[in-house]
């Protein structure tokens, strides 16, 4: 099918007027509300207490989840139906005496305590391992790579082994999915907490499995970002790319250029409220992500997408005149002056502060859509900024538009095209670059699912769940060998996305599809199997109060009985928009 070309300027669908956005928000809330009703019905035998009822709620014995019913699908699964494990109320979580492993153990306990109501104490001795417990064993072995794990579920105990804390963390996400869906309840429910018996040996296909959140077009505060991090962790993603700056907003405080955040960050698309992260906020996000083995990749978009910076510092503008704050959704009109030394001071200062706040290896310099900068000037600018990043001891990433610039050690191109035949990117790869794949027509989470999706764009086409799943990162780009592909990343641009519930609505269920592309071996790729596994997650999200799009290409489970009243008939956004009790906790000490 021919792919629609991207218009030269600003393809995004024009911003809907307020009324339409409000309708979109309502539609998202309605869909999520319906999903929650479905899930509540499933979890609650008709005529008995609902999930919302107090701790004594009764629950029909759920059918045990099958060992292979995990997203992303594991590398190797060996079920043993004779070895199902019943979690006992007095179960203990035993962990290797290592701070990072103990932090994973505490997170497992925190995931299981609300629904089970069990105390689940965490101790720092894996052995002896009496019956009824869960052991998290940090082995130090490297045979499963830096993120792999092995899970053995037997009648008398559960044992998770990994060479690294990251591997244990991923194994915990698998374990979580193997419990009945009611494990997602923020309140105690009575259930048989049965795990399916057998073994899983698992490791990721790619080292880079990311999502991007655009906090520049609309600003999202720290609790929202932490909740997005939770969603990434659930599907074993390991990178959160934050698009921190754009024409509409500068979202991070920079001490050496103090007007950037308060002035450049004052607004947002559509005249919506702006905002910015203090450096302490940003550190909090970075620490919360790190405790979930997710590396934050900050992006300062250069030389274009810089209107907000120019509002604060007109000296960076080619004509030295402050432009008005921008609240529209066009792109490609702004740039910092590449001919002025002061611009490179600005870049070095900003990237220097960001690097000092960011423990991760990567700095993203944007580079997209600088339409007003001539090609040669642009290539020289990018080469110089790449050297600044290298001077900070970091690895540079840019959108694939930086491909023509000179190669620099380790540089990474984030490819967002819609046609895999891209000779300029292929040539940059021949010169040594590696690639992260974010194909606009498969991985862009801001695209609509269907023509009637209330929010989102369609310049890269419509992306239903199947489209986000059915492509192969290993062969997607002509002339780019599989070993030059670092992995995949799903960007969520937020021109039309204004609330946490809308973020979730666009993320789910497509994020798990992208996560499976990044994690699971190609040999396991199977749309029918995937959508069947994914379907069960609707119940989990609804139980946890997470919004999602229940589109027609996934066989979401039908309600088990009469649909009970929703928990909060008119307040879905509130319910989904804030962390349920017990989920906002900062990482445990040592994490």
- Which among 36, 106, 353, 369 is annotated as catalytic? 369
| Cα 94 to Cα 75, 91, 177, 178, 368, distances in angstroms | 25, 10, 20, 19, 48
- What is the C-alpha separation between 549 and 502, in angstroms, rounded? 10
Do residues 389 and 395 touch, judged by C-beta distance below 8 A? Answer: yes
Among residues 224, 258, 242, 350, the alpha carbon closest in space to that of 298 is found at 242
In 403-543, beta strands by DSSP E: 412-415, 434-437, 485-492
- Radius of gyration of the chain measured on its C-alpha atoms: 24
The count of C-alpha atoms lying within 13 angstroms of the C-alpha of 363, restricted to the half-sphere facing its C-beta, is 28
Question: How many other C-beta atoms can be found within 10 angstroms of the C-beta atom of residue 342?
Answer: 12
Beta-carbon contacts of residue 16 (< 8 Å; ≥ 6 apart): 24, 455, 496
- What is the C-alpha separation between 382 and 390, in angstroms, rounded? 12
Pairing label, strands 412-415, 434-437: parallel
- Residues at the interface with ligand TNX (CB under 6 A): 12, 331, 368-369, 399, 416, 444, 446, 457, 493, 495
Q: Before 128, cis peptide (omega within 30)?
A: yes
| Cα 196 to Cα 85, 158, 470, distances in angstroms | 6, 10, 29
Beta-carbon contacts of residue 412 (< 8 Å; ≥ 6 apart): 362, 395, 396, 397, 398, 433, 434, 435, 436, 486
- Number of alpha helices (DSSP H) and beta strands (DSSP E) in the chain: 16, 19
- What is the C-alpha separation between 151 and 149, in angstroms, rounded? 7
Beta-carbon contacts of residue 442 (< 8 Å; ≥ 6 apart): 463, 467, 468, 470, 471
Pairing label, strands 249-250, 245-246: antiparallel
Beta-carbon contacts of residue 21 (< 8 Å; ≥ 6 apart): 15, 270, 455, 496, 498
| Cα 301 to Cα 13, 306, 369, 476, distances in angstroms | 21, 7, 10, 26
Do residues 305 and 247 touch, judged by C-beta distance below 8 A? Answer: yes
Pairing label, strands 239-243, 208-214: parallel
The count of C-alpha atoms lying within 13 angstroms of the C-alpha of 563, restricted to the half-sphere facing its C-beta, is 11
The alpha carbon of residue 14 and the mean position of all alpha carbons in its chain are separated, in whole angstroms, by 25
Annotated catalytic, 369?
yes
């Amino acid at each position: 099918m021919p792919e629609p070309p991207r218009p030269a300027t600003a393809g995004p669908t024009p911003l809907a007027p307020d009324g339409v956005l409000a309708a979109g928000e309502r539609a998202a809330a309605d869909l999520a509300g319906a999903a929650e009703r479905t899930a509540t019905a499933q979890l609650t035998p008709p005529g008995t207490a609902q999930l919302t009822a107090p701790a004594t709620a009764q629950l029909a014995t759920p059918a045990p989840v099958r060992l292979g019913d995990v997203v992303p699908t594991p590398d190797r699964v060996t079920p043993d139906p004779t070895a199902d494990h019943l979690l006992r109320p007095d179960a203990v979580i035993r962990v290797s005496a290592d701070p990072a492993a103990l932090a994973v153990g505490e997170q497992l306990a925190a995931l299981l305590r609300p629904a089970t109501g069990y105390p689940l104490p965490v101790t720092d001795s894996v052995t002896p391992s009496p019956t009824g417990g869960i052991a998290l064993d940090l082995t130090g072995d490297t045979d499963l790579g830096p993120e792999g794990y092995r899970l053995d579920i037997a009648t008398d105990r559960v044992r998770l082994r990994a060479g690294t804390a990251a591997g244990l963390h991923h194994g915990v996400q698998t374990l979580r999915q193997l419990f009945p869906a009611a494990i997602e309840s923020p309140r105690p429910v009575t259930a048989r907490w049965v795990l399916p018996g057998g073994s899983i040996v698992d490791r990721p296909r790619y080292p880079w499995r990311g999502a991007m959140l655009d906090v520049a077009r609309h600003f999202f505060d720290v609790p929202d970002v932490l909740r997005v991090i939770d969603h990434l962790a659930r599907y074993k993603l390991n990178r959160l790319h934050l698009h921190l700056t754009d024409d509409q907003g500068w979202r991070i405080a920079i001490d050496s250029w103090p007007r950037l955040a308060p002035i450049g960050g004052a607004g947002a698309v559509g005249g919506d409220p702006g905002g910015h992260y203090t450096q302490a906020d940003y550190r909090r996000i970075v620490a919360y992500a790190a405790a979930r083995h997710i590396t934050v990749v900050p992006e300062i978009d250069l030389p274009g997408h810089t209107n907000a910076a120019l509002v604060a510092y007109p000296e960076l503008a080619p004509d030295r005149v402050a432009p008005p704050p921008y609240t529209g959704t066009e792109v490609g009109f702004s740039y910092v002056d590449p001919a002025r030394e002061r611009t490179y001071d600005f870049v070095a200062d900003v990237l220097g502060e960001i690097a000092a706040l960011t423990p991760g290896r990567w700095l993203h310099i944007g580079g997209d859509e600088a339409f007003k900068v001539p090609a040669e000037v642009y290539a020289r600018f990018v080469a110089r900024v790449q050297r600044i990043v290298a001077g900070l001891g970091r690895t540079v990433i840019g959108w694939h538009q930086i491909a023509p610039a000179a190669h620099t050690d380790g540089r990474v191109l984030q490819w967002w095209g819609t046609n895999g035949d891209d000779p300029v990117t292929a040539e940059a790869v021949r010169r040594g670059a590696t690639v992260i794949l974010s194909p606009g027509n498969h991985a862009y989470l801001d695209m609509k699912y269907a023509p009637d999706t209330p929010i989102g764009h369609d310049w890269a086409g419509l992306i239903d769940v199947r489209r986000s799943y059915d492509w192969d990162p290993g062969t997607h780009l002509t002339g780019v060998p599989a070993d030059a592909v670092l992995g995949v990343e799903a960007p969520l641009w937020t021109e039309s996305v204004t609330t946490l519930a809308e973020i979730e609505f666009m993320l789910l269920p497509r994020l798990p599809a992208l996560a499976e592309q990044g994690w699971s071996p190609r040999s396991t790729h199977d749309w029918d199997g995937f959508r069947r596994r994914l379907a069960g997650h609707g119940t989990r999200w609804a139980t946890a109060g997470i919004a999602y799009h229940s589109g027609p290409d996934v066989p979401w489970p039908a309600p088990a009985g009469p649909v009970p009243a929703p928990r909060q008939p008119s307040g879905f956004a509130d319910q989904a928009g804030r962390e349920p009790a017990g989920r906002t906790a900062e990482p445990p000490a040592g994490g």
